[in-house]
């Protein structure tokens, strides 16, 4: 079939990538503490060359097990974390053992090279059959014209609306959500109780609670505010809660969101150091007792449970201005047009079954994008349960091919008001001018 002449090359490249790029070395399937868990594809733990080489072995082994009679189906993914790679390979091996028509293999492509590799592959007719990609980038890949239109070919009726929207362009479905995550509010329950505070549900309550929790050694609230996609990821829930959109920020709603974040810093309840803190750093400040509340995602839970087993914390919805809001993270599957579409869809049907989804989500620290599965994924008292509820309010970034440029404008405005280099009004106006130039 088309593209199969390069199977040997794929395996060689996979081994080379394993030697040059590191993978998570913890061995803990859910403990990629410094990742953004699919929201940006950024900052994952580096590993030694030996570990990376080991991580590339499962895909090579699967390829060598092929009888030669089955049709090949190839997958590209960018996960560096060892546990993620092992979990995907387990599902692939189970699928290959379950039938004889198709033989699936997988290849790691570094996140920074993912789009370039797909672009090169498109021009050279050397593409995989399935790509697993960061959800906010989906629209930009669709614009390349390489994804199969799956409208009517795959049932996503039970999936969260936000996850489906992340892979829908011009009303057509160009992917299948892999798994989802979002942001919510963590709080130190002991600190809240000692201060006589209730769990905040609104911005006013949040600020009042943060003030009550702030001491000489503790700040009330922290959220990642770095000037990149990770910072945008953490700011847009506050922007969207006002009713503003990512593309219309220079108005009363957008200015109010920027002003609220600025006031948290000016009133001393959020440290300006947040501009240097990744989501992993924010978590470390929280478990060290330096922060009483934090905005963060479910992928941090396995690490927190392991590293701070005695810390008394809980999770709730992000407090709202006019409406609850959160931001969608995670990955999507996409099927390449012109490839083995039937084989790809057969694998996706298997991989999105309840049993396999629950296995993958457990290893990733994710929530199923399939609402029916998500609602039965966790016990009622699980710390993941608030994130399941939060997904009802989570929206994707984009989908827009130019999203990275829009994101840069938003994160700059966010950073400017925290550092005090611009007023909320000026920051909103500057961001809007950039966004308008992008959207022309």
Question: What token pair was written down for 367?
Answer: 């929530």
Residue 81 pLDDT grade (very low, low, confident, very high; cuts 50, 70, 90): confident
Same domain, 281 and 424: yes
Same domain, 334 and 317: no
Same domain, 287 and 310: yes
* Average pLDDT taken over every residue of the chain: 86
Percent of the chain at pLDDT > 70 equals 85
Same domain, 340 and 285: no
H helical segments located in 2-48 = 7-20
Task: Express each pLDDT in 394-440 by its tens digit.
Answer: 999 988 989 999 999 999 999 999 999 999 999 999 999 999 999 98
**C-alpha distance across the termini of the chain, in Å:** 41
Same domain, 96 and 106: yes
Same domain, 42 and 146: yes
Distance CA 128, CA 21 (A): 20
Distance CA 37, CA 43 (A): 9
Q: Can the peptide bond before residue 75 be classed as cis, meaning omega within 30 degrees of 0?
A: no
Same domain, 232 and 293: yes
Task: Express each pLDDT in 161-178 by its tens digit.
Answer: 999 999 999 999 999 999
pLDDT of residue 374: 94
**What's the CATH number where 287 sits?**
3.40.190.10
pLDDT at residue 153 above 60?
yes
Same domain, 165 and 197: no
Higher-scoring residue by pLDDT: 410, 10: 410
pLDDT at residue 147 above 70?
yes
- Taking alpha carbons only, the member of 76, 78, 105 closest to residue 93 is 105
pLDDT of residue 272: 95
Same domain, 301 and 346: no
Task: Express each pLDDT in 298-343 by its tens digit.
Answer: 989 988 999 999 999 999 999 999 999 999 999 999 999 999 999 9
pLDDT at residue 47 above 90?
no
H-run or E-run covering 360 = helix 354-364
Same domain, 295 and 377: no
Same domain, 141 and 273: no
Percent of the chain at pLDDT > 90 equals 75
pLDDT of residue 68: 59
Strands 102-108 and 184-188: unpaired
Same domain, 288 and 433: yes
Q: What are phi and psi of 383, to 5 degrees?
A: -65, -15
- Taking alpha carbons only, the member of 331, 334, 358 closest to residue 348 is 334
Write out the residue range of the structural domain in which residue 141 sits: 4-181+329-395
Alpha carbon 7 to its chain centroid, in Å, reads 29
What is the domain count for the chain?
Answer: 2
pLDDT at residue 128 above 60?
yes
Task: Express each pLDDT in 253-281 by its tens digit.
Answer: 999 999 999 999 999 999 999 999 999 99
**Is the Cβ–Cβ distance between 92 and 104 less than 8 Å?**
yes
Alpha carbon 342 to its chain centroid, in Å, reads 28
pLDDT at residue 2 above 80?
no
- Taking alpha carbons only, the member of 341, 274, 435, 287 closest to residue 102 is 341
């Amino acid at each position: 079939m088309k593209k199969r002449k390069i199977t040997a090359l794929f395996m060689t490249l996979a081994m080379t990538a394993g030697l040059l790029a590191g993978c998570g070395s913890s061995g803990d399937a859910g403990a990629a503490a410094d990742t953004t868990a699919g929201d940006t594809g950024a900052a994952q733990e580096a590993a030694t060359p030996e570990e990376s080489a080991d991580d590339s072995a499962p895909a090579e082994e699967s390829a060598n097990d092929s009888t030669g009679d089955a049709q090949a189906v190839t997958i590209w993914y960018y996960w560096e974390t060892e546990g993620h790679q092992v979990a995907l390979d387990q599902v692939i091996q189970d699928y290959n053992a379950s039938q004889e028509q198709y033989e699936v293999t997988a290849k790691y492509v570094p996140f920074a090279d993912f789009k370039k590799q797909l672009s090169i592959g498109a021009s050279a007719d050397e593409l995989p059959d399935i790509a697993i990609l960061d959800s906010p980038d989906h629209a930009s890949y669709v614009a390349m014209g390489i994804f199969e239109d799956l409208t009517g070919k795959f049932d996503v009726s039970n999936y969260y609306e936000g996850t489906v929207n992340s892979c829908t362009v011009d009303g057509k479905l160009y992917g299948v959500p892999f798994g989802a995550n979002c942001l919510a509010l963590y709080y130190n329950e002991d600190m809240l109780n000692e201060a006589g505070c209730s769990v905040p549900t609104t911005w006013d309550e949040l600020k009042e609670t943060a003030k009550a929790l702030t001491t000489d050694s503790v700040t009330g609230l922290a959220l990642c505010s770095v000037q990149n996609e990770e910072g945008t990821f953490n700011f847009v829930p506050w922007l969207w809660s006002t009713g503003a959109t990512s593309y219309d920020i220079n108005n009363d709603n957008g200015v109010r969101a920027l002003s609220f974040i600025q006031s948290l810093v000016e009133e001393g309840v959020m440290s300006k150091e947040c501009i240097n803190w990744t989501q992993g750093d924010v978590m470390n400040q929280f478990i060290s007792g330096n922060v009483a509340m934090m905005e963060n995602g479910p992928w941090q839970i396995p690490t927190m449970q392991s590293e701070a087993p005695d810390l008394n914390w809980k999770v709730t919805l992000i407090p709202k201005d006019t409406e609850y809001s959160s931001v969608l993270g995670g990955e999507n599957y996409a099927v390449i047009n012109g490839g083995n579409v039937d084989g790809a869809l057969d694998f996706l049907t298997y991989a999105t079954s309840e049993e396999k989804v629950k296995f993958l989500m457990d290893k990733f620290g994710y929530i199923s994008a399939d609402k029916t599965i998500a609602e039965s994924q966790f016990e009622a008292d699980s710390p993941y349960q608030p994130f399941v509820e939060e997904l009802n309010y989570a929206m994707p970034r984009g989908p827009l091919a130019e999203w990275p440029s829009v994101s840069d404008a938003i994160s700059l405005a966010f950073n400017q008001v925290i550092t005090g280099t611009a007023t909320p009004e000026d920051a909103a106006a500057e961001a809007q001018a950039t966004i308008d130039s992008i959207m022309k």
